[in-house]
Each structure stands twice: as C-alpha cells, then as structure tokens.
Structure 1
Amino acid sequence: MKIQFRRSLLAAAAVGAVLVSSSPYVPTLAAEDSAPAPAPATDTTAVLEGYAADTWASVDAMVVDRTGLPADNVGGRLKPGSRSTFTSPTNIGAYLWSTVAARDTGLIGAKDARKRMARTIATVGKLEKHEPSGQFYNWYDPRTREKLRVWPESGDEVQPFMSSVDNGWLATGLLLAARAEPAVADEADAIREDMDFGCYYNEAEGQGGQIRGGFWDEDFGDPVRVKGDYCGMGEDVWYTGHHYGAFNTEPRMASYLGIAEGQIPQKHYYGTFRTFPATDNCDWAWTEAPPTGEWRTYTAGGEDVDVFEGALDYRGMKVVPTWGGSMFEALMVPLFVPEETWGARSWGVNHPLYVQGQIEHGLEETDYGYWGFSPSNNPAGGYREYGVDALGLDGPGYTSDQERTDWEQPWEGCRDGEPAPTAADYGDGVVTPHASFLALRYAPEAAMENLANLREDFDAYGPGGFYDAVAVESGQVSKRYLSLDQGMVMAALGNALAGDDMRDYVTPGGLTEQVKPLMEQEVFGASPR
C-alpha cells in the first residue's frame, strides 16, 4: 500500500504561479483564499538560509584541501574517509559556483572564498587536458590530480573522454568565478577561453548543426565512434556516435557558451529538436507520443532556419519535452541563464508547465504524495536516471519508480499502445530534493512544502542538508551527498537569497549579445490547458 502523506497545494503550483521577480529574488508564497495566511517572507528566507548553511557543509566536506578539488560524493556523516576518490569537470564547476553562493549569502567571508577559488583554479590549470581543444577529461583523482584510467571502485578500465556536457559546466563555473572575484579572473578566463566548444559541433547534422556527446583522443577500437576534426585541431579524434539532438536538455549550456564565444554559429540554437516533426508516416514513432505543432522560420547570424515548434500532450498541457523527462535536464541551465525572461514566448511558457507536470505526476497520476524526479543516487544502491516518462521525448524515457513503470502510448497508424497506468500500477517512487530546489522559482509554494514534507516524513535530512534521494513507498533513503546535486541546490539558493547572483555573474557579455536575441524571437508550441 502506498504512503500517501501529502497531496495538498496543487493549485499553488499552477501555471499562473510562475515567479519571475526582480532582484532580490526570494520566493513569495501565495496561498488560496480559503487557506491560512502565508508565512511572512522573512520566515521563508530563514528556512532557505538554513538549507543553504547545511548544504554548504556537505559541499565543504567534499573538498580535498590540498588541491581544492571536490570529490564526486561523500557519506551522510560528512567524514573525510567517506569521500569518493574521483571527480569530474562538472563537480569542479559546481564547487566554484557554490563557493560564490556561500560568500554571497554570508556563509563564508570574502577572503575565504577568494582563497578557495584561487586554489581550485590553480589546480585546474595544472590538470592534464586535451591541449588542442582545451577540453578536460571526464574523471580525475581529486587527491592527486591524476587523470583516471582505472575506476577506483571496481578496477575497471576508464577510457579518458572529453564530454561536451561536463566541460560546459566547468566553463560555467570558471566564468562565474571570474566575474564574481577579480583576483581569480585572469587565470580563470585564461583556462576557459582556451576551451573550444566548436570542437564538438557538427554543422552537417540537422538544420543548424548539433554537438556530439564528446570525443576520445585515443583509438580504443570501437567501430561506432566517428573519426574527425571539427574545429581544425590538426589531429583527428574519435567522436561519440550520437549527437545531442533534443533541445530541452542540459547540454544546451555548452551550446550557449560556444555560441557566446563565437565558436559555434548562432543557427545551432535552432538546430536541435523541440520534438521530432509531425509526419504522415511512422519515422519518429519510436519516441514518446505524436507531437503537435507547426513550422516557423527564424533568423540566426543572417541565415534563415526552419524549426518545427512541436510539443507533446501531457494531461491536457502542451509541453516541450526533455529527452528523458527529468527535472535537471529542463531546469539546471536557467540557474545561470534567464531563459524564461529572455524567451518569454518559449521558455517562459514551458518551464512552469514542466514543473506543473512533475508535480501532477507525483501527486495525482501516481499518488506518491511527493514529487521531483531527476537523476540521483538510487536509495537501493548505485546511481540511476529518474524522471516522468511522458515528459520525455525518448520512448522508454526515465521512469519515476523503482519498478520502471513505463507507458507505451498509442500512436495512430503506427502502434496500438497500451492503457495508461493507474496510480495502483506505480511502485516505489524515488524523489530527489534537488528537483524541488530547481522548481523553486516556478512553483515556490509547492517546492517549499514538498521539501518540508520530505524532511518531516522521512529520515531525509542530515548534517549536510537533504540526502540525495528518497524512495517514498519503502522509506529507503540514499544517505549520501553528491557534488552535482548539492551544487544545483547551492545555485538555486544563491539566486533566491542573493538577488539572482548566479545569473548576474554569468549572463553579461556574449550570452546576452549572442544568445538572448535568439530566445527573444522564438515561439514554442507549448501551452497550458
């Protein structure tokens, strides 16, 4: 029998509750007329400040003092011996922006923050990387700075790899640190400006070109990999067989940075799929559901690009899906880029709808009583992708429960499909708190209540803030802290408590000049009920 502790305040998370405020951004909670008066904003601020202080404790506990590099994760008691012995470019970027958020919210002093960032950036400057592209490898030992060739937990071989996604988040952290602290700006900018995201960009893919998942600089004999040199490095590398073809996914941050630096043409913004086009045949019937939408033409860098502005129907809403249906795919990027204000007719419509879809899945469709589905630690062990299957473009998508309850929707003329699952069909749903922090801007009251409920109803909160994930039927909790997930929490809290500081550091310059005009002209096919 399912645990059904909580099902309130759906209305407060409705599409009209999207919060797009001027700085300083602190969630303003609006209750229904029949509900008790909301708590004063100062009380909300105090709760967020408490979350920030505890979350920072976990971030700090992951850092190796000698190198300034964070571990990928740490045990729930924050003991140094429980730190992982591997880290990634994303983790390093997350530590840099978390340090700025901690400073800006008063958790650490300016001198401490400056010292921390300087140590980390100095170490990054010494890491082995792929010199022709300036891109960093995917895994390092945070204690020794060595590039990993053997996975420390299993002894398996690691094939050193340059990831477009991970390098995008490292570059974000370097950009933010340079803008936030002049003392580290020269060294941070030198590293970042050497990072060429055009090395992932394949102009021949799609209408405006797409980026590859990444590349290897050694030939490991995998026939699926594609040999090439997209940025004139002077030497071939071995690219992933896939491109990032879905638009509403977190790799778009790397795309934005490449466009901002002039390494990738502006037309690439329109080169990935909002959904695959609607056709009279079954070309795209392996995806989640038939799309609705229309073709529109936009101008980018003097070129016209045709875009199918598609959306998927979810519970009567039209939503531009992510790839797998998870929260961080949709909402990690707007921690740093004000998509919903720059793209009022695109992201400004879709982001709150996406949050509403996640809420309704957790509270109505499945009766879990809680919501917020995103890749996280699996409470039963390991790491897993969680999401709302129907909010993803991919047919199997990411599922929200341990049982992997999926729905193969019917597609007229292509597949019969099956009946939609009922709440009784879903099993042990897995909720991750970082998803609520990502939703804080768009559904503030629902996010605050969901977090409070998780903390009250489960053993979900420790000395470093919220543990990484909760299986809400069994009550099983993953009592670890992850650099990536805690970094998202710190960025959200920095924005909420320090006047959108994360965005204010990142967006001036190239992003505003090159990316904002692209967002301003686009009209998504998304719409509320």
Structure 2
Amino acid sequence: MSKRLWCLILSLGCCGLAMMPVAALPQADPGRLPPASINTTDAIARATWTYLSSPQTTANHLPYSWWSPTLSGGDYANPAEIGLYALAWLAAYDLRRPWSPSWAATEAEVTAVLNQLRTWQTGEQSHQPHGPNAYTNSVFYQWYWISWNPPVVGDNTGDNQLVPSVDNAWLAAALITIQEYARANGHPALAQKADAILSDMDFTLWYHPGSHRFSWGDVQNPQGGTLADYYSNENRIINFIARALGHLSADEFRLSLAALDAPSGTYNGITVEKMSWDGSYFTYAAPALFIRETHTTYGANTLLPANQAQIAYARDQGYTAWGLSDCYDVGNGGYVQQGAPPTARAGDPETRPGLVTPHASGLALITPLAGEALANLQTIATTFPCAYEADRGFRDSVMTNPSASDYGQCSARFSALAQEWLFLGLVNYENGFIWRYFYHHPGVLQAHREMYGGSSVYLPLVLRSNV
C-alpha cells in the first residue's frame, strides 16, 4: 500500500480550552466488566459498527431509524440518519481496524446510498406512490419507508412529508465530508455523486430574509413551522451549511447568526455563555462533530461548561451516570425530551428524571472531557447489564435514578442516530476523521472564519491511500 502525505494547515478560529475540575461520579467495579470489555475505544467502536452495518438494522442500503430485538417497526429513516450512515462507512474503513469493512464493500454501500438519494431527488425513480420523493427536486422529506422496494417517502399523513431544514443540513454536512474524502483519496465517481446531490439542494427554501432566520419546516412547506431561534439549539448547523454552500452572502450569514438568541445561564457556579432552550446535550455538541467548535470561544465558554453542568447536575441528583439528551424511554417507551440546567426554558429540564443516553458521552468525546466521557460509558455498561451488548453496542437509554421504580431498566430500542453520533464521536476522538475532510471544502473554511474568526489551528493530516 503506497501512501503520500497531504498536509492540511488551515486558518481557523482558535483559542485555548482550560480544563476545569469536575467531581467524579461513582464508578463501577472493574471486576464486573463483560467478556467483551469496553475499556478501550476500539471495543466500543467495533460493537457500534457491528450494529450499524448489520443486515438486521438496515434495508436497501439504508438504516432503520430504530431497531429492537423485541419490538417490530423502525424500518424508516430520515435524511440525517441516511447521511450519517453513509459517512460512518467511510469512517469505519478509514480506521483500518481488523473489523473495518473493505474498500470494495465501503464503496459499494456509499455508492448505493448516494444513488438512492439522487434518484429520489431527480424524480428518476418512477415508483412514487405518495408523490415525489423529494421536495421540488431539491431537498428531502422527513421520513422514508426503507423496507419498500424501492424505498419511498412516507404517505402524506403526520409528519412524513414535512420538509425539515435541520435534517437536510445534517445530510449536506455528511455529503460535503464524503465528497471531500473522495476527492482527497482519488475516487472521482463518488465525489461527483455527492456533488450532484449537494448542487441541487437549496437552503434558501427555509430562509426568511426579514428576520434572518431559518424555519424548521412544515408539511410540504419549508417556510412553515416555527423559526429556529437559539444559537445553541442544533439549528446553527443550518446557518453554517447554507453559508458553506454559498446560499447565504457573508452579510446574510453574519445577520443570521446575530438573529439567534444566546442567553447566558449558570448552574452550581458553572456558567454556560449561550444556553440552549431545553439543555439537551446533543443540541450543544452534535454540530461540533462537523464544525470544529471545541477550539473556539464557543467551545471554551459554552460546549465545555454545558458538559460540566451535565456532570455536576447528575452528581447533585444522585444519578449513577450522566448524559441527559433526547432519547427513547426505557422499555417500549416513546421519544422524550431530556436536558440538564441551565436552560433558557423555565421548569424541569427532564421529562424522566435520571433517564440517561450513552450517545451524550459519545458526543462528549470531542471535548476536553473525553476521559470523563469514556469513564461514563464504562460505568453505564458495567453497572447496568442491559445497557450494552458486545455485538450491538449501547441501547438508547437507561434509568440511572436510584429512587426510580424502574431503576436499571433500559430502552428496548437501539437508535440509528444515537449509534451514528456515538460512532462518529469515537472516530473524531481517535483521528479527527470528519474535521480532516469536512474542512477540505473551501466554503466550510470560509464559513468557519466568518463564524468564529481567530488565528490558526492545525487539523489532522490527510493520508491518501491507493486501494
């Protein structure tokens, strides 16, 4: 295998991140480690990848939104889950572990995903029982029924044909990373497929020039729904992607960021400079899988203290572990909002006090608290036998409140989005894979400079391999 070095030195926002002490939560007895120990990131990554690539949890090269060994259903997917699934294949291959997929398998799977997206987008798929599979041959709907052959958009009931801004933004971020990986590693056909989809996506569909805000979107109406209003809700990824793709001018981008609410709040002496609405951890950290925010003032003053507040709050409540972020409830329970203070909204940030999701720790791996995140994952796996399986990874949630009647119970579900976030967080922790390629895109670099300014940061080196 021949390799040549591509050095990527980019001018991005940069500032030091000070580590602040956080009181440790109770740790499990190391003697209780399962046979497939999770005391290494490789073991967690291998288990999570086994789930993501399993025939049981996929259909027609697309991921089940959720899968359960005891519940039926879940065989639908949204644009975010689909994009992150394709990206996870490249990330798994790039790790070059004994369990990593071959390039032939990776290329075939990613190509199949991109082909499906393109046939939906262009209308080339003649099977359209519920109408066009993409909105105006541009962006994608909320839910697709992936077990149909071929897969199609859900019927026009509920939110199946909602046109979601944030899920399309996650898809576009994944496509940019796939495109730049393919360009950097000599796979022009793959790059062209990703570029074709991106070129026809239009984020101005959601933009309101008068308020400089984006809509969340509504059924058959991207201008509908509420306006995305908080900086630390995940919606800032929409602003970033719209600018990176050239859909917003520099002035509009600046105004769109300034229009977002950014209230400050404090919990137990920990100040979060830009609070999210409900304190759900993914709203802070998920955009940072792509935008390298950990090395910005936002990372120092918001991401890091939000994580510290999570840990401190869980300790103060007497929970066995931390990780308060939206997830499925234990057993057959549905999706619930979970967060930790401080929050912009009034009232209790938890729907189910003590319900913890491992994906929060996966996302925290990209912060300076990676050590605490790994310890927390191990605590969850070793304290609660139902929470982790060596061939599937982590279930979506576990109840960690010792005073709860269902203490120690776990969700019946494994969630695609949670598994993808956890896996990609692990990969970024290991080698900066997403940042390494996302920032190859000149629009991404420009958007970062305009969003955070600053001096220089050195991203991971890019190695090109002949496969």
TM-score clears 0.5: yes
**Residues 365 and 426, structure 2, Cα contact 8 Å, conserved in 1:** no
CA shift at 1:520, angstroms?
Answer: 2.0
Helix, strand or coil: the match of 2:271? Answer: strand
Give unmatched runs, 5+ long, in structure 2: 1-16, 25-36, 121-131, 456-467
Q: Does 1:314 align with 2:239?
A: no
Deviations 1:492-520 (A, max 9, x none): 111122x2011111123101113323212
Helix, strand or coil: the match of 1:216? Answer: coil
Q: Does 1:355 align with 2:361?
A: no
Instruction: State the partner residue of 1:382.
Output: 334
1:200 counterpart (206, 217, 224): 206
Q: Does 1:88 align with 2:66?
A: no
Give unmatched runs, 5+ long, in structure 1: 1-14, 20-30, 32-43, 151-155, 218-236, 276-310, 403-427, 523-529
CA shift at 1:76, angstroms?
Answer: 4.6
Q: Does 1:124 align with 2:77?
A: no
**Residues 165 and 250, structure 1, Cα contact 8 Å, conserved in 2:** yes
After superposition, the Cα gap between the structure-2 partners of 1:397 and 1:239, relative to the gap in structure 1 and judged at 3 Å, is farther
Q: Which amino acid in the other structure matches residue 451 of structure 1?
A: L
CA shift at 1:18, angstroms?
Answer: 7.4
**Residues 153 and 160, structure 2, Cα contact 8 Å, conserved in 1:** no
Mapping 1:76-225, distance limit 5 Å: 76=69, 82=72, 84-106=74-96, 107-127=100-120, 128-132=132-136, 134-144=138-148, 145-149=151-155, 157-158=158-159, 160-181=161-182, 182=187, 183-205=189-211, 209-217=212-220
Q: Which amino acid in the other structure matches residue 371 of structure 2?
A: E
CA shift at 1:160, angstroms?
Answer: 1.1
Q: Which amino acid in the other structure matches residue 75 of structure 2?
A: T
Please give the alpha-carbon distance, in whole angstroms, between the structure 1 residues aligned to 2:425 and 2:446: 24
After superposition, the Cα gap between the structure-2 partners of 1:397 and 1:103, relative to the gap in structure 1 and judged at 3 Å, is farther
Helix, strand or coil: the match of 1:98? Answer: helix
1:274 counterpart (258, 262, 265): 262
**Residues 206 and 222, structure 2, Cα contact 8 Å, conserved in 1:** no
**Residues 73 and 482, structure 1, Cα contact 8 Å, conserved in 2:** yes
Larger gyration radius, structure 1 or structure 2: 1
Instruction: State the partner residue of 2:432.
Output: 500
Helix, strand or coil: the match of 1:313? Answer: strand
**Residues 48 and 493, structure 1, Cα contact 8 Å, conserved in 2:** yes
**Residues 178 and 191, structure 2, Cα contact 8 Å, conserved in 1:** yes
CA shift at 1:240, angstroms?
Answer: 2.5
Please give the alpha-carbon distance, in whole angstroms, between the structure 1 residues aligned to 2:225 and 2:232: 20
After superposition, the Cα gap between the structure-2 partners of 1:66 and 1:272, relative to the gap in structure 1 and judged at 3 Å, is closer
After superposition, the Cα gap between the structure-2 partners of 1:72 and 1:241, relative to the gap in structure 1 and judged at 3 Å, is closer
Q: Which amino acid in the other structure matches residue 290 of structure 2?
A: F
Please give the alpha-carbon distance, in whole angstroms, between the structure 2 residues aligned to 1:72 and 1:18: 37
Deviations 1:257-295 (A, max 9, x none): 1011221222212221112xxxxxxxxxxxxxxxxxxxx
Q: Which amino acid in the other structure matches residue 339 of structure 1?
A: E
Instruction: State the partner residue of 1:254.
Output: 238
Q: Which amino acid in the other structure matches residue 113 of structure 2?
A: T
Q: Does 1:55 align with 2:48?
A: yes
CA shift at 1:131, angstroms?
Answer: 4.7
Instruction: State the partner residue of 2:32.
Output: none
After superposition, the Cα gap between the structure-2 partners of 1:46 and 1:115, relative to the gap in structure 1 and judged at 3 Å, is farther
Instruction: State the partner residue of 2:418.
Output: 485
CA shift at 1:216, angstroms?
Answer: 3.1
CA shift at 1:445, angstroms?
Answer: 2.0
Please give the alpha-carbon distance, in whole angstroms, between the structure 2 residues aligned to 1:213 and 1:375: 17
Please give the alpha-carbon distance, in whole angstroms, between the structure 1 residues aligned to 2:225 and 2:110: 36
Q: Does 1:67 align with 2:71?
A: no
**Residues 427 and 433, structure 2, Cα contact 8 Å, conserved in 1:** yes
1:456 counterpart (382, 385, 390): 382
CA shift at 1:61, angstroms?
Answer: 2.3
Instruction: State the partner residue of 1:511.
Output: 444
Helix, strand or coil: the match of 1:476? Answer: coil
**Residues 144 and 160, structure 2, Cα contact 8 Å, conserved in 1:** no
Please give the alpha-carbon distance, in whole angstroms, between the structure 2 residues aligned to 1:62 and 1:483: 13
**Residues 325 and 397, structure 1, Cα contact 8 Å, conserved in 2:** no
Please give the alpha-carbon distance, in whole angstroms, between the structure 2 residues aligned to 1:76 and 1:87: 18
2:358 counterpart (430, 433, 446): 433
**Residues 134 and 140, structure 2, Cα contact 8 Å, conserved in 1:** yes
Percent identity for Structure 1 against Structure 2: 24
Please give the alpha-carbon distance, in whole angstroms, between the structure 2 residues aligned to 1:72 and 1:185: 26
**Residues 164 and 222, structure 2, Cα contact 8 Å, conserved in 1:** no
**Residues 135 and 141, structure 2, Cα contact 8 Å, conserved in 1:** no
Q: Does 1:467 align with 2:395?
A: yes
Q: RCO higher in 1 or 2 (8 Å CA, sep ≥ 6)?
A: 2
Helix, strand or coil: the match of 1:17? Answer: coil
Deviations 1:175-224 (A, max 9, x none): 2222223231101111112111111111211xxx110011433xxxxxxx
Deviations 1:216-254 (A, max 9, x none): 33xxxxxxxxxxxxxxxxxxx463341011001111112
Deviations 1:422-469 (A, max 9, x none): xxxxxx511100101111232122111111111111021112111110
After superposition, the Cα gap between the structure-2 partners of 1:132 and 1:56, relative to the gap in structure 1 and judged at 3 Å, is same
Please give the alpha-carbon distance, in whole angstroms, between the structure 1 residues aligned to 2:395 and 2:59: 26
Q: Which amino acid in the other structure matches residue 312 of structure 1?
A: G
Instruction: State the partner residue of 1:297.
Output: none
CA shift at 1:312, angstroms?
Answer: 1.1
CA shift at 1:347, angstroms?
Answer: 2.7
Please give the alpha-carbon distance, in whole angstroms, between the structure 1 residues aligned to 2:39 and 2:93: 17
Helix, strand or coil: the match of 1:478? Answer: coil
After superposition, the Cα gap between the structure-2 partners of 1:351 and 1:238, relative to the gap in structure 1 and judged at 3 Å, is closer
1:395 counterpart (340, 343, 346): 346
**Residues 95 and 427, structure 2, Cα contact 8 Å, conserved in 1:** yes
Taking only aligned residues, the RMSD between alpha carbons, in angstroms, comes to: 2.5
Mapping 1:326-365, distance limit 5 Å: 326-341=280-295, 343=296, 345-364=297-316
Q: Which amino acid in the other structure matches residue 173 of structure 1?
A: A
Aligned positions, number: 389
Q: Which amino acid in the other structure matches residue 163 of structure 1?
A: P
**Residues 379 and 478, structure 1, Cα contact 8 Å, conserved in 2:** yes
Helix, strand or coil: the match of 1:395? Answer: coil
Please give the alpha-carbon distance, in whole angstroms, between the structure 2 residues aligned to 1:470 and 1:492: 20
